[in-house]
Chains A and B, each alone.
Chain A
């Protein structure tokens, strides 16, 4: 019993990461109807930035986090201008090619520049663990989880209570109406893509406090993020947060109860079941 509880706790903590990555993905889809197939690669990229900030300048990942987030925001903004914008009026397969091609380029660049060796950061608090009622909680994972939750709250506030945020929501609902109201849709798109990538930056930096990076590290995270998005409903940010926790728990518990290899199978079964029975996801997402 206690082991299952432990698994659940670990699952929740990891789930926070999934939520964070998924929220960015869901936001980009919700506003622009673009699936960013390079999202996982962006997580990988921000992890490398965090790593080099530490290895070259001795900056702690959590301190580097805001900087990484800003860098990823700028990269996202520029990518929107140079790449994504050209595909917005083309059929969706063009967007798939553009973002998938980007992923291929990023992963192979990472392999080229930094080799396939795993890189990790050793932080002074890396081994800190709490024990509450027999359940062990790793400090770094807890911090990462808290940051993820904090980001979700901040994003929520931003979207609902600021001018820019409301403009983003308006554009997501109806692009033409928003334009008619004087909203600069292209600018909103750029901000959105930047935001989505900034969130991957937060996730990447947080991950480096307890995980390791290698060129293909983004792939399993991205795959899970897609599952989370569908589970929560594409475009529904609350759903992405909740979905992340659910998948995190499901993976962790099934890894414990069955075997680690099966955790992806369980994720996929959930995924296929949602697609089949309730394709709009738990919260009723945007289908087209």
Chain B
């Protein structure tokens, strides 16, 4: 006889969804709406990183390259070939996926810090290449002319952007959820836990790492296209910076790497801090946000490696809130 714990989680999720969908009606101020969009965007990007970094354990610090490539592909296709960014976004995602597999290939055998170095080096190379590439305007960056045209993924008001990124996030998290329940997900986790053991269990680790990388990079590229259409200005240093790559990782890690809601929680915690200090105080004080984030990151490194979700779990276990006990074993006599 199976006993299932009461699915109270569903209620939380529905509640959260309702709040998120109704948010724009409360946040009339475009400034706050902008922060909300940023939170959702970085939650989306953190979720993409989480697939390969959290679930599969391949902590790449070069993901900003795919973010930028997505932005550039959809923008170039739009401005030079008249293709709508909605389509360009898909093209960018496909390209990023393939690139991830190709560029990831040399790194499949690299361990620990070498792998991290490789991803950093790769992203920086891409960034500098784009900086010096005349055809994509290099260090001048590209401005996307504003027009109120939904077909071309440009809107006058921020509200459509909010709902679009919200839907992207929901889809992204759903993808992560499906993966985590599937063979790809279980194998990715095995690779993360112990790659040698995974091989001994018949897992083609190179193949599954590539899967995770490709999916992760594709989602990253979609986020990049969104950014391009939202901000209407792209530049290699804004998109493909090591800073960004680290933020994607930090958001997932701060929230709880390898968990479904980690990136959302991480983004909701870190991004408002960063944004607030960056835009309200300027100049020297722009650094304050980074200071706080840096402190949070240090605390996570020393005391809370499983992130906010890890801390919440510990609290829950400590005070025995809720019953986590699922009896799943069939009794056979």
* Residue positions of A touching B, CB distance < 8 A: 29, 35, 83, 86-87, 90-105, 107-109, 111-112, 115-116, 215, 223, 226-227, 230, 234, 259, 261-262, 264-265, 268-269, 271-272, 275-276, 279, 287-288
A221 to B302, CA, bound (A): 26
Q: Are A97's CB and B284's CB within 8 A?
A: no
Cβ–Cβ < 8 Å partners of A103 in chain B: 294
Q: Are B284's CB and A264's CB within 8 A?
A: no
The one of A104, A230, A272 in contact with B294, judged by C-beta atoms closer than 8 angstroms, is A104
Known contacts A111-B286, A115-B284, A227-B121: A92-B112 contact under CB 8 Å:
yes
A268 to B302, CA, bound (A): 31
Q: Are A96's CB and B290's CB within 8 A?
A: no
A189 to B8, CA, bound (A): 48
The one of B113, B284, B301 in contact with A35, judged by C-beta atoms closer than 8 angstroms, is B113
The one of A101, A230, A275 in contact with B296, judged by C-beta atoms closer than 8 angstroms, is A101
Q: Are A109's CB and B291's CB within 8 A?
A: yes
A105 to B124, CA, bound (A): 23
Q: B67: shortest Cβ distance to chain A, in Å?
A: 18
A91 to B299, CA, bound (A): 15
B128 at the A interface (CB under 8 A): yes
The one of A86, A92, A112 in contact with B302, judged by C-beta atoms closer than 8 angstroms, is A86
Q: Are A102's CB and B288's CB within 8 A?
A: no
Q: Are B113's CB and A261's CB within 8 A?
A: no
A92 to B249, CA, bound (A): 14
The one of A105, A107, A115 in contact with B298, judged by C-beta atoms closer than 8 angstroms, is A105
Q: Are B129's CB and A265's CB within 8 A?
A: yes
Q: Are A100's CB and B297's CB within 8 A?
A: yes
A90 to B113, CA, bound (A): 15
Instruction: Given contacts A83-B302, A261-B131, list 12 more A-B pairs with CB under 8 A.
Output: A35-B113, A90-B301, A97-B297, A98-B298, A101-B293, A102-B294, A104-B297, A105-B298, A230-B114, A261-B128, A268-B125, A276-B106
Q: Are A109's CB and B287's CB within 8 A?
A: yes
Cβ–Cβ < 8 Å partners of A264 in chain B: 124, 128
Majority secondary structure of chain A interface residues (helix, strand, loop or mixed): helix
Cβ–Cβ < 8 Å partners of A223 in chain B: 120, 124
Q: B295: shortest Cβ distance to chain A, in Å?
A: 6
B283, B288, B297: most-surrounded residue (chain A CB, <10 A): B297
The one of A101, A111, A268, A288 in contact with B111, judged by C-beta atoms closer than 8 angstroms, is A288
B117 at the A interface (CB under 8 A): yes
B178 at the A interface (CB under 8 A): no
B232 at the A interface (CB under 8 A): no
Kindly count the residue-residue contacts between A and B in the assembled complex, taking CB atoms under 8 Å apart: 133
What 1/0 flags go to B230-263 for Cβ under 8 Å of A? 0000000000000000100010010001000000
What 1/0 flags go to B118-130 for Cβ under 8 Å of A? 1011101100110
Cβ–Cβ < 8 Å partners of B148 in chain A: none
B201 at the A interface (CB under 8 A): no
A29 to B116, CA, bound (A): 14
In chain B, positions 293-324 with a C-beta closer than 8 Å to chain A are 293-303, 305
Known contacts A94-B305, A108-B290, A275-B118: A100-B246 contact under CB 8 Å:
yes
Cβ–Cβ < 8 Å partners of A93 in chain B: 59, 253, 257, 301, 305
B116, B118, B294: most-surrounded residue (chain A CB, <10 A): B294
B79 at the A interface (CB under 8 A): no
What 1/0 flags go to B188-219 for Cβ under 8 Å of A? 00000000000000000000000000000000
Cβ–Cβ < 8 Å partners of A83 in chain B: 298, 302
Q: Are B284's CB and A104's CB within 8 A?
A: no
B285 at the A interface (CB under 8 A): yes
Known contacts A101-B295, A104-B294, A226-B117: A261-B132 contact under CB 8 Å:
yes
Known contacts A109-B287, A234-B113, A265-B129: A87-B294 contact under CB 8 Å:
no
A112 to B293, CA, bound (A): 15
A276 to B102, CA, bound (A): 13
Q: Are B287's CB and A275's CB within 8 A?
A: no
Known contacts A108-B288, A271-B121: A287-B59 contact under CB 8 Å:
no
Q: Are B295's CB and A275's CB within 8 A?
A: no
Cβ–Cβ < 8 Å partners of B118 in chain A: 272, 275
What 1/0 flags go to B80-123 for Cβ under 8 Å of A? 00000000000000000000000000110011111011101110
A103 to B61, CA, bound (A): 16
Q: B260: shortest Cβ distance to chain A, in Å?
A: 19
Q: Are A105's CB and B128's CB within 8 A?
A: no
Which residue of chain B lies nearest to A262 when distances are taken between CB atoms in the complex?
Answer: B132
- A-B contacts, 27 of them at CB < 8 A, read A35-B113, A35-B116, A83-B298, A90-B301, A90-B305, A94-B305, A98-B297, A98-B298, A101-B300, A105-B295, A108-B287, A109-B287, A111-B286, A112-B284, A112-B287, A115-B284, A230-B117, A262-B132, A264-B124, A265-B125, A265-B128, A272-B122, A272-B125, A275-B114, A279-B110, A287-B111, A287-B114
Q: B227: shortest Cβ distance to chain A, in Å?
A: 22
Which residue of chain B lies nearest to A37 when distances are taken between CB atoms in the complex?
Answer: B246
Q: B257: shortest Cβ distance to chain A, in Å?
A: 8
The one of A29, A90, A91, A104 in contact with B291, judged by C-beta atoms closer than 8 angstroms, is A104
Cβ–Cβ < 8 Å partners of B293 in chain A: 101, 104
A237 to B193, CA, bound (A): 32
Q: Are A275's CB and B288's CB within 8 A?
A: no
